[in-house]
């Protein structure tokens, strides 16, 4: 069954309407037959750039319409070639017979056939037509029909758009396009298939596996591989792309234009990470980065995967076209890459390394114990929050252990500063406050009360709001942090399973949080238990870890 948000439920003609609305008047479109065009071409342009193919690869091609990009885009149904009649009608709409037209066609049978027929029909009407077939996909190297056309389409349409605006004629554009195309290769991988047009399941990728060399229409790849992790995966892809471009034989100093492209279901965060890995892999092979872009330019509906496209830059002139400004909503905005040393990380000196203490047995043991709490606490946080409470808590203790303490007297301070400085989430800094009050107070009982006050002051919650306060407040009713106080904290934490959330993420979930205790309250009980134990309190029969179920 498809859902209302399913990408195959978006009629592409209506999607064109949406695109036109967002383009502020620059993009016109027709629904019968379906095509779209740039309404504001550059003055110097003499050749009309036309491209098209099945829908489902947005922003390609209609998103590439605009000054510095395409003049005409002709989408078919999802993953289906447009009809040649659409192409003819689109060209006739923007250009008079006698005009020069360049058809940019991805190497897929349906596209090749329909654009070939369109070309003959246009020539018969007096247009002067050239065709550029894009065939860059290494994943289909050696196939009978030749390599498929994928990411190079973006590179070519960007470069040819700028070159056309510079006044180049059809012959020059064809030559430039062939040269850039011949030096461009792409490779794609997927962790999961896209939503299938018309419903039904796409190809299956087992957990821990990747389809390597996948196409952009849901065809499985030639190879299924065990996921080697992003670094190795990107390294392998860059290696194969460089090899196929003959990098070893390239004259020293060959530069590469690199495009990291999401296939529709990959976060921007991941794409930037992949970009960093790709730059490192190039460096590792002694290849220079001329320009790097990362984004979603040619998608496969919502496929969870990405492609890498490398172009060996033989000539600075077309790199200038690659980085030229443009007005197309979906084309990349490339820049010339900076040297690695200028883009490397800068770290603010927070002074953590100064005063690093000796390792502490207590902190080391605590780090190990809290590592064991990570998963169960995450599971509790998953029910009411975002599932990271255990990770936050064990990270804080681990960092304190790594920092160490100058003497046993400073172990609690070390714990407090690790939480204050380095642990995120809502709970990290609040634990930092409580721990610093516990470390600072003359008597531990006073520390618990000061901690309670501090958390209320900063977090604005009250006991009963289903937070860590529901463990802290009952403990604060005791004069000292003794066994009775820790037991009260454990019982308080357990009681949160009947409380609705009024603070933090749990507050958005109403009754859905009932039945399991608040992870922050459980963590507070565990922390108080650990501190009392360190003080030598006899905690026989006080089972804080039992809260984890």
Q: Which residues bind ligand ADP (CB under 6 A)?
A: 381, 385-386, 388-389, 392, 425-428, 430, 455, 459-461, 467-469, 503-505, 518-521
Contact 264, 299 (CB under 8 A): yes
Between 117 and 420, whose beta carbon lies closer to Mg ion? 420
Binder of Mg ion out of 69, 76, 334, 385 (CB under 5 A): 385
What minimum distance in Å lies between the beta carbon of 425 and Mg ion?
A: 5
Partner in contact with 520, chosen from ligand ADP, Mg ion, none, beta carbon below 5 to 8 Å by kind = ligand ADP
> 34-38 and 184-192: which strand pairing?
unpaired
Between 179 and 383, whose beta carbon lies closer to Mg ion? 383
What minimum distance in Å lies between the beta carbon of 507 and ligand ADP?
A: 8
Partner in contact with 461, chosen from Mg ion, ligand ADP, none, beta carbon below 5 to 8 Å by kind = ligand ADP
Between 7 and 390, whose beta carbon lies closer to ligand ADP? 390
Between 469 and 476, whose beta carbon lies closer to ligand ADP? 469
- Exactly one of 217, 247, 326, 395 is catalytic; which is it? 217
> 72-78 and 47-55: which strand pairing?
parallel
Contact between 151 and Mg ion by CB under 5 A: the answer reads no
What minimum distance in Å lies between the beta carbon of 143 and ligand ADP?
A: 48
Contact between 386 and Mg ion by CB under 5 A: the answer reads yes
Task: Count the neighbouring beta carbons within 10 Å of the beta carbon of residue 32.
Answer: 8
Whose CB is nearest to Mg ion?
385
End-to-end CA distance of the chain: 37
Q: Which residues contact 4 (CB under 8 A, 6 or more apart)?
A: none
Contact between 518 and Mg ion by CB under 5 A: the answer reads no
Which residue, 38, 40, 35, 28, is CA-closest to 12? 35
Q: Which strand ranges, in their side-by-side order, compose the sheet holding 47-55?
A: 27-31, 34-38, 72-78, 47-55, 100-106, 128-134
Annotation says 273 is catalytic? no
Between 125 and 383, whose beta carbon lies closer to Mg ion? 383
Torsion of CA 52, 56, 57, 59, to 10 degrees: 90
Contact between 215 and Mg ion by CB under 5 A: the answer reads no
Both tokens assigned to 297: 């330019």
Partner in contact with 452, chosen from Mg ion, ligand ADP, none, beta carbon below 5 to 8 Å by kind = none
Give the C-alpha separation, 304 to 379, whole Å.
25
Both tokens assigned to 202: 């796409």
Partner in contact with 427, chosen from Mg ion, ligand ADP, none, beta carbon below 5 to 8 Å by kind = ligand ADP
Between 500 and 505, whose beta carbon lies closer to ligand ADP? 505
Both tokens assigned to 538: 């006899």
Contact 187, 241 (CB under 8 A): yes
What minimum distance in Å lies between the beta carbon of 411 and ligand ADP?
A: 22
Task: With both helix axes pointing from N to C terminus, report the angle between 411-422 and 427-440 in degrees, rounded to the nearest 10.
Answer: 150
What minimum distance in Å lies between the beta carbon of 394 and ligand ADP?
A: 11
Q: Binders of Mg ion: how many residues, by CB under 5 A?
A: 5
Both tokens assigned to 62: 């209609």
Neighbour-count burial of 172, counting CB atoms closer than 10 A to its CB (0-12 exposed, 13-18 middle, 19+ buried): middle
Partner in contact with 71, chosen from ligand ADP, Mg ion, none, beta carbon below 5 to 8 Å by kind = none
Partner in contact with 460, chosen from ligand ADP, Mg ion, none, beta carbon below 5 to 8 Å by kind = ligand ADP
Residues that bind Mg ion (CB under 5 A): 381, 385-386, 388-389
Name the residues annotated as catalytic. 217
């Amino acid at each position: 069954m498809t859902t209302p948000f399913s990408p195959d439920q978006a009629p592409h003609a209506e999607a064109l309407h949406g695109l036109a609305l967002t383009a502020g008047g620059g993009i016109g479109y027709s629904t019968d037959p379906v095509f779209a065009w740039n309404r504001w071409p550059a003055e110097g342009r003499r050749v009309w750039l036309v491209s098209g193919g099945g829908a489902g690869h947005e922003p390609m091609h209609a998103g590439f319409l605009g000054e510095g990009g395409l003049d005409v885009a002709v989408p078919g149904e999802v993953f289906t070639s447009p009809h040649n009649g659409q192409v003819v009608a689109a060209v006739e709409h923007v250009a008079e017979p006698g005009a020069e037209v360049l058809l940019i066609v991805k190497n897929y049978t349906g596209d090749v056939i329909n654009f070939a027929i369109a070309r003959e029909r246009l020539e018969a009407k007096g247009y002067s037509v050239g065709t550029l077939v894009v065939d860059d996909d290494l994943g289909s190297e050696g196939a009978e029909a030749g390599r498929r056309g994928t990411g190079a389409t973006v590179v070519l349409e960007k470069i040819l758009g700028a070159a056309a605006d510079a006044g180049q004629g059809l012959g020059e554009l064809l030559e430039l396009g062939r040269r850039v195309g011949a030096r461009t290769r792409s490779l794609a991988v997927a962790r999961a298939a896209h939503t299938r047009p018309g419903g039904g399941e796409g190809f299956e990728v087992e957990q821990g596996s990747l389809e390597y060399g996948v196409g952009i229409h849901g065809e499985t790849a030639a190879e299924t591989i065990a996921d080697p992790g992003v670094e190795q995966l990107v390294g392998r892809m860059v290696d194969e792309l460089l090899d196929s471009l003959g990098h070893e034989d390239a004259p020293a100093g060959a530069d590469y234009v690199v495009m990291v492209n999401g296939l529709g279901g990959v976060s921007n965060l991941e794409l930037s990470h992949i970009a960093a890995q790709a730059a490192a892999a190039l460096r590792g092979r002694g290849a220079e980065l001329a320009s790097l872009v990362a984004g979603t330019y040619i998608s496969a509906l919502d496929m969870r995967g990405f492609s890498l496209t490398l172009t060996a830059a033989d000539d600075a002139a077309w790199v200038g076209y690659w980085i030229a400004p443009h007005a197309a909503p979906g084309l990349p905005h490339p820049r010339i890459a900076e040297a690695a040393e200028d883009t490397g990380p800068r770290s603010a000196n927070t002074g953590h390394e100064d005063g690093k203490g000796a390792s502490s047995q207590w902190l080391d043991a605590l780090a190990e114990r809290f590592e064991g709490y990570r998963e169960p606490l995450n599971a509790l946080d998953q029910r009411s929050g975002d599932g990271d409470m255990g990770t936050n808590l064990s990270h804080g203790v681990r960092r304190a252990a790594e920092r160490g303490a100058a003497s046993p007297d400073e172990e609690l301070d070390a714990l407090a500063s690790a939480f204050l400085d380095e642990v995120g989430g809502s709970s990290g800094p609040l634990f930092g406050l409580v721990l610093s009050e516990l470390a600072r107070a003359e008597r531990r009982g006073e520390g618990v009360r000061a901690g309670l006050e501090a958390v209320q002051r900063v977090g604005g919650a009250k006991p009963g709001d289903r937070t860590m306060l529901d463990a802290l407040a009952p403990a604060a009713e005791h004069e000292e942090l003794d066994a009775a106080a820790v037991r009260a904290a454990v019982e308080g934490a357990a009681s949160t399973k009947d409380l609705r959330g009024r603070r933090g993420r749990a507050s958005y979930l109403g009754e859905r949080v009932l039945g399991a205790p608040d992870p922050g309250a459980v963590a507070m009980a565990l922390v108080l238990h650990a501190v009392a134990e360190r003080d030598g309190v006899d905690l026989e029969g006080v089972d804080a870890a039992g809260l984890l179920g």
